[in-house]
């Protein structure tokens, strides 16, 4: 039996399909208020608005027929025929996007009350998949690039630089975010649309389906072990053990402002009402923090059960899932090795995703790198891992789809992370050492965790104090310092990427170059000062 649920953008209606019969429910889980029988099994549903209408896309041998049905009685109010036979690939606002898989053109159909109009968009490349966003925008995944188009004007708006997992993959929208996963994977990637920053989440069991709604910041991950709620803003996971769910249940989300519900129809339910469970807003269960390594098996809460799932227990009662977040984190460089080998051989490949809780992710976050710089850092580190650290400027620009970082006009250059010579680009040794997990070579760290350095150049007088006394005083004042013990230029870069203010216990002969943006240097100096240091402020 073919089953599906679609909901209206305002959360007023839910249409449940059972084979060829469609039942319309008010409020998502109320009594049936309207019925409709399809003319073909090869049909897809969507609800668009305002005003709310049910769209039915029916495919024939050579053409697609799109009909609109108005709630609550689902009478047919409009019809449109398109050639060739196409599939519904995305919905945004009052518009539906239809396409033939792999084609370079898509049809955008607008549902305007009781009328249908269409326009054709030429994407210029074969379409992999499409995702409907808010504000009448659609994300198209094309070979080696992503493009966001305005469905109203029919023009491309921007090319987001998102580190998506390689195909095959599934992608969807949640309020302010995109999510992506791969078949059989226990990982889900969430991308913040405002800056493209990726977040990687380990569920603990293979994700079989993802239930989402473009108006909802919550997605529900369907696994064989149960349903897991992922809050995209808080990045929190929670096992929905209160859901009356069983394998095969058809699910959807109903979003009414901040109140979000999960609705479902059991597989053996012939004609009953959908059940409804609050997953966001009023009545929703509390979110859990990052799971710990173990869970209590007696009187376990939903959060405890998720911890057991994430820790590899599969369930509270028994084992069965070997992949853990710690194991996956330890092997994050493996995907970079494959990418680095392809990049070194000149093979076009998509940049892999790296989690934020890795050395590379933490460095990108600490330096607040924008998307082009993060992509360049990832690519250059992948080349370092495979022993091909230098790449031609043009080849790197082609791989990134961007010239600014390879030409030294971006953040990697201003921060002193990359260097260019003879038309080739590479990361500095200070950066690769840090990403390799090796200790710094030119500095000795003193003080607490990484912090924002005191930017710029300043000096202090010794006043008869020992080196140890000066270090202790500055560490308490600045939070973390990097005592220079090696080559000056490397030391200032190492201090910047380690989140520390550099300290020179004796005045260097000259100012270190390159000077990383945001970097700080404190020089201990008495008596006659070198010219470059004479104008420095006193700390």
Give Cα 474 to chain centroid, integer Å: 39
Would you say residue 242 has pLDDT above 90?
A: no
Distances in whole angstroms, Cα of residue 22 to Cα of each of 16, 32, 116, 262:
5, 10, 21, 19
Give exposure, 67-85, as e/b (b: 16+ Cβ within 10 Å).
bbbbbeebeebbebebeeb
The predicted model gives 384-405 an average pLDDT of: 91
End-to-end CA gap in the chain: 75
- Domain ranges (residues) in the chain: 161-321, 331-435, 443-538
- In total, the chain counts a number of residues equal to 539
pLDDT-based confidence at 269, cuts 50/70/90? low
Residue 200: strand pairing partners? 189
**Weakest-pLDDT range from 26-30, 72-76, 245-249, 254-258:** 26-30
- Global pTM reads 0.60
Would you say residue 447 has pLDDT above 90?
A: no
Other C-beta atoms closer than 10 Å to the C-beta of 157 total 13
Q: How far is it, in rounded angstroms, from Cα 302 to Cα 364?
A: 33
pLDDT-based confidence at 1, cuts 50/70/90? low
Query: What's residue 317's pLDDT?
Result: 31
Would you say residue 323 has pLDDT above 60?
A: no
Q: What are the tens digits of pLDDT across the range 54-77?
A: 999 999 888 999 999 999 999 999
Strand (E) or helix (H) holding 396: helix 393-400
Distances in whole angstroms, Cα of residue 291 to Cα of each of 2, 228, 308, 341, 488:
37, 13, 9, 35, 42
Would you say residue 49 has pLDDT above 60?
A: yes
Average pLDDT along the chain: 85
DSSP 153-198: TTEEEE-----PPPSS-EEEEETTEEEEE-TT-SEEEEEETTT--E
Q: How far is it, in rounded angstroms, from Cα 380 to Cα 384?
A: 6
Residues 128, 131, 132, 133: what is their CA dihedral angle, to the nearest 10 degrees? -130
Backbone angles phi and psi of 445, in degrees to 5? -85, 135
Q: Is the peptide bond before 229 cis (omega within 30 degrees of 0)?
A: no
pLDDT-based confidence at 312, cuts 50/70/90? low
Query: What's residue 120's pLDDT?
Result: 94
Strand (E) or helix (H) holding 302: helix 302-310
Query: Taking a C-beta distance cutoff of 8 angstroms, is the pair 105, 99 a contact?
Result: yes
Query: What's residue 294's pLDDT?
Result: 29
Nearest residue to 191 (alpha-carbon basis) of 162, 158, 220: 162
Nearest residue to 120 (alpha-carbon basis) of 138, 104, 136: 104
Spatial neighbors of 15 by CB under 8 A, at least 6 apart, are: 5, 6, 7, 22, 23, 24, 25, 45, 47, 54
Residue 65: strand pairing partners? 58, 81
Nearest residue to 294 (alpha-carbon basis) of 307, 283, 276, 279: 307
Tell the burial category of 247 from Cβ atoms under 10 Å away from its Cβ (0-12, 13-18, 19+).
Answer: exposed
Query: Taking a C-beta distance cutoff of 8 angstroms, is the pair 427, 386 a contact?
Result: no
Strand (E) or helix (H) holding 468: helix 467-478
Strand (E) or helix (H) holding 333: helix 332-344
Q: How far is it, in rounded angstroms, from Cα 452 to Cα 479?
A: 9
Tell the burial category of 366 from Cβ atoms under 10 Å away from its Cβ (0-12, 13-18, 19+).
Answer: middle
Q: How far is it, in rounded angstroms, from Cα 493 to Cα 384?
A: 18
Would you say residue 290 has pLDDT above 70?
A: no
Would you say residue 377 has pLDDT above 90?
A: yes
Query: What's residue 174's pLDDT?
Result: 94
Name the 3-class secondary structure at 219.
strand
- Number of Cα atoms under 13 Å in the Cβ half of residue 120: 10
Query: What's residue 295's pLDDT?
Result: 29
Would you say residue 328 has pLDDT above 50?
A: no
Nearest residue to 180 (alpha-carbon basis) of 128, 136, 125, 135: 128
* Helices 332-344/371-385 angle, 10° precision: 80
């Amino acid at each position: 039996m073919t089953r599906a649920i679609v909901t209206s953008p305002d959360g007023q209606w839910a249409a449940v399909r059972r084979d060829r019969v469609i039942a319309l429910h008010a409020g998502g889980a109320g009594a049936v208020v309207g019925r409709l029988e399809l003319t073909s099994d090869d049909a897809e549903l969507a609800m668009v608005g305002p005003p709310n209408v049910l769209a039915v896309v029916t495919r024939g041998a050579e053409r697609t027929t799109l009909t609109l049905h108005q709630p609550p009685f689902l009478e047919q109010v409009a019809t449109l025929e398109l050639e060739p036979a196409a599939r519904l690939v995305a919905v945004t606002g009052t518009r539906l996007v239809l396409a033939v898989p792999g084609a370079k053109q898509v049809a955008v159909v607008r549902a305007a009350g009781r009328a249908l109009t269409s326009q054709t968009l030429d994407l210029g490349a074969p379409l992999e998949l499409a995702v409907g966003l808010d504000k009448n925008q659609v994300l198209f995944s094309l070979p080696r690039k992503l493009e966001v188009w305005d469905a109203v004007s029919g023009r491309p708006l921007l090319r987001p630089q998102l580190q998506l997992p390689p195909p095959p993959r599934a992608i969807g929208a949640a309020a302010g975010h995109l999510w992506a996963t791969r078949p059989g994977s226990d990982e889900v990637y969430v991308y913040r649309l405002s800056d493209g920053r990726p977040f990687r989440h380990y569920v603990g069991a293979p994700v079989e389906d993802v239930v989402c709604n473009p108006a909802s910041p919550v997605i529900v991950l369907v696994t064989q072990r149960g349903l897991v709620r992922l809050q995209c803003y808080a990045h929190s996971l929670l096992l929905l053990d209160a859901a009356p769910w069983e394998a095969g249940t058809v699910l959807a989300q109903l979003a009414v402002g901040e109140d979000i519900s999960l609705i479902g129809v059991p597989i053996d339910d012939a004609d009953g009402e959908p059940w409804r469970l609050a997953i966001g807003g009023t009545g929703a269960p509390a979110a859990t923090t990052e799971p710990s390594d173990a869970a209590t098996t007696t009187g376990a809460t939903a959060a405890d059960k998720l911890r057991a799932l994430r820790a590899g227990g599969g369930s509270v009662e028994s084992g069965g899932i070997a992949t853990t977040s710690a194991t996956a984190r330890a092997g994050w460089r493996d995907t970079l090795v494959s990418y680095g080998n392809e990049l070194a051989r000149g093979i076009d490949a998509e940049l892999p995703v790296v989690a934020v809780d890795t050395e590379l992710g933490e460095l990108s976050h600490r330096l607040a790198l924008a998307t082009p710089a993060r992509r360049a850092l990832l690519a250059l580190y992948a080349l370092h891992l495979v022993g091909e650290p230098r790449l031609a400027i043009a080849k790197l620009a082609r791989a990134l789809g961007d010239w600014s970082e390879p030409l030294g006009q971006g953040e990697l250059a201003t921060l002193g992370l990359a260097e260019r010579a003879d038309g080739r680009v590479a990361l500095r040794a200070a950066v690769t050492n840090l990403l390799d997990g090796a200790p710094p070579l030119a500095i000795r760290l003193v003080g607490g965790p990484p912090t924002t350095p005191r930017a710029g150049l300043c000096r202090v007088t010794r006043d008869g104090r020992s080196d140890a006394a000066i270090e202790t005083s500055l560490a308490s004042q600045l939070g973390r310092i990097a005592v220079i013990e090696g080559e000056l230029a490397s030391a200032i870069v190492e201090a910047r990427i380690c989140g520390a203010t550099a300290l020179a216990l004796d005045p260097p002969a000259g100012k270190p170059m390159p000077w990383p943006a945001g970097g700080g240097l404190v020089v201990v100096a008495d008596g006659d000062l070198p010219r470059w240091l004479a104008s420095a402020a006193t700390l």
